[in-house]
A and B are shown apart, each in its own frame.
Chain A
Amino acid sequence: MLREEIREHVILGHATETETGVQELLTAQVSVDEIIQQVLVPAMAVVGEKFRRNEIFVPEMLIAARAMQAGLAVLEPLILQTGRQYMGRVVIGTVKGDLHDIGKKLVATMLQGAGWEVIDLGVDVAPEKFLQAVKEHKPEVVGLSALLTTTMPNMKATIELLKEEGVRDQVHVMVGGAPVTEKFAKEVGADGFAADAGEAVEKCAAFVV
């Protein structure tokens, strides 16, 4: 299968075909790096861009993400074997009081696809849990998600706790979620804001490159 075809399968959300295509590339001795950087990441970048332009929507984004995951699953044993870490490590979670995780999961999948090690703390994550994860995993980036205006203040509470505990400067904090704005991100002292998953990947990359 041509790389271009595999990219198209990811974009269209064809999980089985993506899996087969990635297998074929491996059999043809194409490196894991190359498959990720030249096939999967560019495909998901197209997906992110189409999503941002309202050309595709949540269902199409979800099937593309699953196709991407199917491709990554093929590569995972090899990635584990070499113990490689491409871009860095991200700790991500939905803040306390908030159970919404579709957006956060999409961001996590996109980041994985872009070569990040992602530690997903799930939903309703207390500031203390973020703190503990920062201390334990020493990530480059912490991603805070909220869908509710009523839980957005917990982003600030989390950042404040990281400050109090003296680890704030060791990480880049990203915030996102439907009601979150650039202005809000600045107010709460985050390092970055992304309006969607594609932008989140770009912003995270900018932190470490």
Chain B
Amino acid sequence: MNSRERVKLALAHKEADRVPIDNGGIVSGMHEAAYVKLTQFLGVDAKVSLYDPIQRLASVEEPILKRLHVDTRYLYAQAGAGWNYQEDEEGFWYDEWGVKHHHVGYYADSVEHPLAGMTLKDLKAYKFPDPQDPARFAGLKEKALELYEKTEYALVGGTIGALYAPAWDLRGYEQFMFDTAADPAFANYLLDKLLDWWLGFYESYLDAIGDKIEYLWTGDDWGQQSGPLISPVSFRETVKPRFAKLHQFIKSKTKAKIAYHSCGSVYWALQDFAEMGVDIIQPLQPSAAEMDDSERIKRNFGDILVLHGGTNNQGTFHLNTEAVIADAKRRVAALAPGGGYIFSSGHNIQPNCPPENILALFDTGYESGRYPIGG
């Protein structure tokens, strides 16, 4: 059985030969520091190329992906024409949207926000970059075709369509959260403007890759460590219908499944995710409230959602190898039976995850993930 068939079966909630393994997404990738240490540990010469300068994610090269038994390969859109990532000596850089970021320590965060201080009138007149700029998709169709025909990997759409995350960058986290409570007209207008952007983007993106991918990503963070980030009522009123519209549009363009990312404590939202057209949910962060009981999640939502990740990145990856293995075994045993599970690091592998733990994680997913589970 090849990787593509394995992923297809998992997505159809059926058991394959083993659980498929994902790496390489915006939320299933590897921090450059962890990657460098891993390649040194393996004695491989590595070339670090970032595909996400905010989270500092390194493109994991083919030999390493093979070593980690990864079944997926990613197809990213590129930046619009005229923009490239240029960091100054103090670590400052601007993204394509005019958001200023500061690279401090292991990550970069937005520090200046082009929509800060704007009124609704200003916002209405403000122009975002062109979502259908051909430079974003140049060569992508050809690359998709080549990977589809020349490899047996499951191809995945990498770019992650989100509403609140860009709103936070553009407006400032605190100000946008404040807007949602104090100035909903502004907040909702911005969300609609971002939604329109993504509709335009996915139209072109899926024209290029829609018939070659098995799944693609959207998402936003709706959980904090201890519970919902925003009230479930406002989530259902303002967020859910917008993502439902985005997902409906995506499904009109492709048969690929939709993988949705949300960090934190989101047990309360799992039914909502399913109702807004989500097929796959990730990362099921066990260290957040109500998320540790993988058996309960599988029992109550395993039929309507494919579960992705579930390993305890925040709680175990920086500890010892035994803890990583024990956790990975536990998650596989709970989430894999009957299919409908994709193994991954449950969010990006962080700089404090030693190479031994990375190998132990993926090797455990590979070995314990053979069907029948526990057999």
Residues of chain A at the chain B interface (Cβ within 8 Å):
13, 52, 54, 56-60, 62-63, 66, 96-100, 102, 105, 124, 148-151, 178-179, 195-196
Kindly state whether residue B106 has any CB partner on chain A within 8 Å.
Answer: yes
Task: Tell whether B229 is near chain A: CB-to-CB under 8 Å.
Answer: yes
Chain B residues near A151 (CB-CB < 8 A)? 105-106
- Among A52, A58, A66, A105, which residue has the most Cβ atoms of chain B within 10 A? A58
A52 to chain B, nearest CB (A): 8
Query: What is the bound-complex CA distance between A124 and B225, given in angstroms?
Result: 22
Q: Which partner residue on chain A sits nearest B263 by CB separation?
A: A178
Task: Find chain A residues with CB under 8 A from B102 CB.
Answer: 99
Given contacts A98-B105, A149-B352, A150-B352, contact A59 B226 (CB under 8 A): no
User: A150's contact among B106, B230, B234, by CB below 8 Å, is which?
Assistant: B106
Q: Does B161 contact A (CB under 8 A)?
A: no
Q: What string of 1s and 0s marks CB contacts (under 8 Å) between B219-236 and chain A?
A: 000001111111100100
Which residue on A lies nearest to B225, using beta carbons?
A178
Partner of A60, one of B109, B225, B231, B287: B231
Once the chains are docked, how many angstroms separate the CA of A58 from the CA of B181?
A: 9
Partner of B225, one of A56, A59, A148, A179: A179
Closest residue of chain A to B264 (Cβ to Cβ) is A178
For chain B, residues 203 to 261, give those with C-beta under 8 angstroms from any C-beta of chain A: 224-231, 234
B174 touches A62 (CB 8 A): yes
Chain B proximity of A33: nearest CB distance (Å): 29
B118 within 8 A of A: no
| Known pairs A57-B231, A58-B224; A13 contacts B174 (CB<8 A) | no
Contacts beyond the supplied A54-B226, A58-B224, A148-B106: 20 A-B pairs with Cβ under 8 Å: A13-B182, A57-B231, A59-B181, A59-B231, A60-B181, A63-B181, A66-B178, A66-B182, A96-B105, A97-B104, A97-B105, A98-B105, A99-B109, A102-B174, A105-B174, A151-B105, A178-B224, A179-B225, A179-B287, A195-B226
- Alpha-carbon gap, A182 to B44, bound state (A): 40
Across chains A and B, the number of contacting residue pairs, with CB separation under 8 Å, is: 72
Specify which chain A residues have a CB less than 8 angstroms from the CB of B287 in the assembled complex.
179
Given the known inter-chain contacts A97-B104, A98-B105, A149-B318, please indicate yes or no for A58 contacting B225, CB distance below 8 A.
Answer: no
Asked if residues B178 and A124 are in contact (CB atoms below 8 Å), the reply is: no
Q: Enumerate chain B residues within 8 angstroms of A58, measured Cβ to Cβ.
A: 177, 224, 229-230
- The number of chain B residues with a CB under 8 A from chain A is 29
Cα–Cα distance between A151 and B351 once the two chains are bound (Å) = 11
Of the candidates B105, B226, B287, the one having the most CB atoms from chain A within 10 angstroms of its own CB is B105
Chain B residues with CB under 8 A of A196: 226
Closest chain A CB from B256 CB (angstroms): 32
Could you say which residues of chain A place their CB within 8 Å of the CB of B182?
Answer: 13, 63, 66
How close is A128's CB to chain B, nearest CB, in angstroms?
16
Shortest beta-carbon distance from B94 to chain A in Å: 16
Contacts of A57 in B (CB 8 A): 227-231
| B interface residue numbers (CB < 8 A to A) | 102, 104-107, 109, 111, 173-174, 177-178, 180-182, 224-231, 234, 287, 314, 318, 350-352
Assembled-state Cα–Cα distance A128/B35 (Å): 31
Complex: A91 Cα to B182 Cα, angstroms: 30
| A196–B105 alpha-carbon span in the complex (Å) | 25
Instruction: Provide the bound-state CA to CA distance between A100 and B105, in Å.
Output: 12
When the two chains form their complex, are residues B351 and A99 in contact, meaning their CB atoms are under 8 A apart? no
Q: Nearest chain A CB to B147's CB is how many angstroms away?
A: 33
B227 touches A54 (CB 8 A): yes
Instruction: Name the contact of B180 in the complex, choosing from A59, A124, A149 (C-beta under 8 A).
Output: A59
Contact (Cβ within 8 A) B109 A100:
yes
* B314 partner, pick from A96, A102, A105, A179, beta carbons under 8 A: A179
A13 to B227, CA, bound (A): 21
Determine the residue in chain A with the shortest Cβ distance to B351.
A150
A179 to B314, CA, bound (A): 8
Q: Which of A54, A66, A97, A195 contacts B106 (CB 8 A)?
A: A97
A56 CA to B104 CA, complexed, in Å: 32
Determine which of A52, A99, A102, A149 lies in contact with B104 in the assembled complex, contact meaning CB atoms within 8 Å: A99
- B351 to nearest A CB, angstroms? 5
Do B104 and A124 have beta carbons less than 8 Å apart? Answer: yes
Interchain CB contact under 8 A, A102 and B173: yes
Tell me which residues across on chain A come within 8 A of B231, comparing CB atoms. 56-57, 59-60
Name the distance in Å between B70's Cβ and chain A's nearest Cβ. 24
